[in-house]
């Protein structure tokens, strides 16, 4: 698993956990933090890998 994949999975899972905690504890800041993490994971989807040197 490369760095980009690990970052995407980490941000997505962290965002889901934060969002769930925000709902559970009725904390808007946690919900927004979770949404931001999921948004970062979504944007990382479009991050292009640098060209390989030959």
Asked, for residue 49, whether it belongs to a domain, the answer is no
Q: Is residue 25 part of a domain?
A: yes
Residue 19, domain member (yes or no)? yes
In a domain, 50, yes or no: no
Sort 14 into a burial class: Cβ within 10 Å, 0-12 / 13-18 / 19+: middle
What is residue 27's predicted lDDT score, i.e. its pLDDT?
A: 97
On whether residue 36 sits in a domain, the answer given is yes
Q: How many domains does the chain have?
A: 1
Reported residue count of the chain is: 54
Is the pTM of the predicted complex or chain greater than 0.85?
Answer: no
CB 30 within 8 A of CB 21: yes
Per-residue pLDDT, 40: 97
Q: Per residue in 9-34, pLDDT tens?
A: 999 999 999 999 999 999 999 999 99
Q: Is 38 part of a structural domain of the chain?
A: yes
Residue 11 structural domain: 3-44
- Confidence tier at 48 by pLDDT (50, 70, 90): confident
The residue ranking higher by pLDDT, 8 or 52, is 8
pLDDT score for 54: 67
In a domain? residue 9: yes
């Amino acid at each position: 698993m490369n760095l980009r994949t690990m970052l995407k999975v980490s941000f997505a899972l962290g965002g889901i956990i934060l969002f769930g905690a925000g709902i559970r504890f009725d904390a808007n800041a946690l919900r927004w933090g979770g949404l931001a993490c999921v948004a970062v994971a979504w944007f990382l989807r479009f991050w292009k890998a640098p060209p390989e040197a030959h």
